[in-house]
Amino acid sequence: MHIAEEVQKRKTFAIISHPDAGKTTLTEKLLLQGNLIRSAGTVKGKKSGKFATSDWMEIEKQRGISVTSSVMNFPYKDYKVNILDTPGHEDFSEDTYRTLTAVDSVVMIIDATKGIEAQTIKLFKVCKMRGIPIFTFINKMDREGREPLALLEQIEEVLDIETYPMNWPVGMGKRFLGIFDRHQKQFVKFNGNEAESYIPYDELQQAEHQDLVQNATFQETEEELELLDEAGDNFSLESVLRGDQTPVFFGSALAPFGVQTFFDTFIDMAPNPNPRKTTEGLVQPEKEEFSGFIFKIQANMNPSHRDRVAFLRVCSGKFERGMSVHLARTGKTIKLSQTQQFVASSRDTVEEAYPGDIIGIYDPNAYRIGDTLIEGKEKFAYDELPQFPPELFKRVTAKNVMKSKQFKKGLEQLVQEGAIQLFTAYPMESYIIGAVGELQYQVFEHRMRNEYNVEIVLESIGERIPRWLDEEKVDTTLFDERNLLVKDREGAFLVLFKNDFALRWFQDKHKDMKLIDLFEVN
């Protein structure tokens, strides 16, 4: 009973966007609404140093509140909100994808002046393949941007998801007057630097609002809205929760404008922690015994501190500090004692946590990404995390051939850990490593040097489009540098295409060959 109540309160989500769309600004405004920070102001979370910290660290420094780079939690109304960071810029890596396996919904921010951008597409694909509900916030309405209809069309076309505008903007940039909040049936008036105001639809005709309703832009938009009501898709929470429809909100994170209505509606609609798939069927979050899985392991870059933190998503039961659990992969019992820290709104050690919460546990090199921890005797494991298709590929060798033993050991372990993906060229065996972001190579190089004492040489073969083959034997003469044949760790063949053109050319010539996109199958 107690656990069920806690589950009902939890809302765990990530914000996805392309760099500069406004993720930091929106996050800060959400914190303001949660009353975690009192004064507003723009946080310029620009990075410094090689291993850039998250924008949230900047918020932390500037505001003196405790948020960490990875997970933030705060109370909002009756809810307990957990926001997981999905780093962009130079921090973008496979971990960013993996983080999305630990959330129950996602907020996608789109910059109205730019439309959909590259990083958003990648992150969106992961959400789509996991069936994660997506809520869209179209930002920067205080600037001249693209037409709202054109933006919705682009989302539907490029991302292949139905849209439902929860609100509809009146003008933009200097002509921006506000939004029709279709959900709450009110007009939200933009008052520049002043706070927004709310006018219920049935009060719009009152004398004091005549300036507004007589405005030509307002009247045009009213007509547009009528069309939308008649011809647009219907809202369906079921479709939203299946990930087939995205509610779209227009606003400005900076002003801030429309943030409150967006967040109130989002937080009510966003799903609570769901039952999750395991080897023994679905496990309900309300289940008495604690269980969870590890979705990310962060190694310390400081050579004198080799400790690592494993990020665990609680999926069922109640976590209590000091409890004994077993690791599904090995059956070993582990006591989760003093060393784990709650990666959340305070740096203190966490005493308890519930489904939807994320805890950081000290990793004495015992865990792997995807590991399940369970309290009690039951045996099951949460579904393995999918393999995400890398985009950047480099050939890797040891600088000193005498070090090939350490080289192989380090390579094997870091690949095992999920730091990087390993492929071998075929039939000429050479190591090729694949990554989602450049940061992974930096971490790899650094750890090979510091932990395995091996200098490596990386030779880029550029951005590639990987497609897996559904065959055990292939005619090697069909492949060359433009469509490079390699094997993954399981021995499956895949082709690294130089570009879209090479991919289409090949597919055209070999129509009977099935080329599999990992984003489509997981």
Binding-site residues for GTP, in ranges, read 17-24, 85-89, 139-142
> Does residue 329 interact with ligand GDP by CB under 6 A?
no
Output 90 or 445, the one with its CB closest to ligand GDP: 90
Report residue 367 CA to chain centroid gap: 22
Residue 6, phi then psi, degrees to nearest 5:
-65, -40
* Residue 356 identity (one-letter amino acid): G
Give the total residue count for the chain. Answer: 522
Across the strands, what pairs with 386? Answer: none
Among 101, 239, 252, 440, binds ligand GDP (CB under 6 A): 252
Minimum CB–partner distance for residue 65 and ligand GDP (Å): 17
Minimum CB–partner distance for residue 193 and ligand GDP (Å): 13
Q: Show the tokens assigned to 192.
A: 């520049």
Residues 6+ apart with CB under 8 A from 172: 112, 141, 142, 143, 144, 145
Among 12, 17, 221, 265, binds ligand GDP (CB under 6 A): 17
Among 10, 14, 22, 441, binds ligand GDP (CB under 6 A): 22
User: How far is the C-alpha of 154 from the C-alpha of 56, rounded, in Å?
Assistant: 30
DSSP letter at 127 equals H
Of 161-169, 251-259, 278-286, 360-368, which segment contacts ligand GDP by CB under 6 A? Answer: 251-259
User: How far is the C-alpha of 199 from the C-alpha of 80, rounded, in Å?
Assistant: 29
Q: Is the dihedral of CA 239, 242, 246, 252 positive or negative?
A: positive
> Does residue 254 interact with ligand GDP by CB under 6 A?
yes
372: exposed, middle or buried (C-beta count within 10 Å: 0-12, 13-18, 19+)?
A: buried
Minimum CB–partner distance for residue 249 and ligand GDP (Å): 12
Across the strands, what pairs with 110? Answer: 138
Q: Which of residues 141-180 bind ligand GDP (CB under 6 A)?
A: 142-143
CA neighbours closer than 13 Å in the CB half-sphere of residue 500: 0
Judged by CB under 6 A, the number of residues near ligand GDP is 18
Helices 23-33 and 55-63: angle between axes, nearest 10 degrees = 40
Output 108 or 152, the one with its CB closest to ligand GDP: 108
Output 139 or 239, the one with its CB closest to ligand GDP: 139
* Residue 425 identity (one-letter amino acid): A
Q: Show the tokens assigned to 459.
A: 């030779």
Minimum CB–partner distance for residue 44 and ligand GDP (Å): 6
Of 18-26, 208-216, 405-413, 455-463, which segment contacts ligand GDP by CB under 6 A? Answer: 18-26
> Does residue 24 interact with ligand GDP by CB under 6 A?
yes
Minimum CB–partner distance for residue 109 and ligand GDP (Å): 7
User: How far is the C-alpha of 483 from the C-alpha of 498, rounded, in Å?
Assistant: 6
User: How far is the C-alpha of 266 from the C-alpha of 269, rounded, in Å?
Assistant: 5
Among 5, 40, 41, 42, binds ligand GDP (CB under 6 A): 42
Among 140, 447, 464, 467, binds ligand GDP (CB under 6 A): 140
Q: Show the tokens assigned to 81.
A: 């909100």
Contact (Cβ atoms closer than 8 angstroms) between residue 43 and residue 55: yes
Output 140 or 467, the one with its CB closest to ligand GDP: 140
Using alpha carbons, select from 340, 331, 324, 322 the residue that is nearest to residue 372. Answer: 331
User: How far is the C-alpha of 14 from the C-alpha of 71, rounded, in Å?
Assistant: 9
Of 155-163, 250-258, 265-273, 329-337, which segment contacts ligand GDP by CB under 6 A? Answer: 250-258
> Does residue 139 interact with ligand GDP by CB under 6 A?
yes
Contact (Cβ atoms closer than 8 angstroms) between residue 422 and residue 484: no
Among 10, 16, 19, 95, binds ligand GDP (CB under 6 A): 19
Among 21, 310, 398, 414, binds ligand GDP (CB under 6 A): 21
* Residue 293 identity (one-letter amino acid): F
> Does residue 483 interact with ligand GDP by CB under 6 A?
no
Q: Which of residues 405-434 bind ligand GDP (CB under 6 A)?
A: none
Contact (Cβ atoms closer than 8 angstroms) between residue 417 and residue 296: no
> Does residue 517 interact with ligand GDP by CB under 6 A?
no
Q: Can you say which residues are annotated as belonging to the binding site? A: 17-24, 85-89, 139-142
> Does residue 119 interact with ligand GDP by CB under 6 A?
no
> Does residue 391 interact with ligand GDP by CB under 6 A?
no
Among 11, 16, 25, 163, binds ligand GDP (CB under 6 A): 25
> Does residue 136 interact with ligand GDP by CB under 6 A?
no
Site of interaction with ligand GDP (CB under 6 A):
17, 19-25, 42, 45, 55, 139-140, 142-143, 252-254
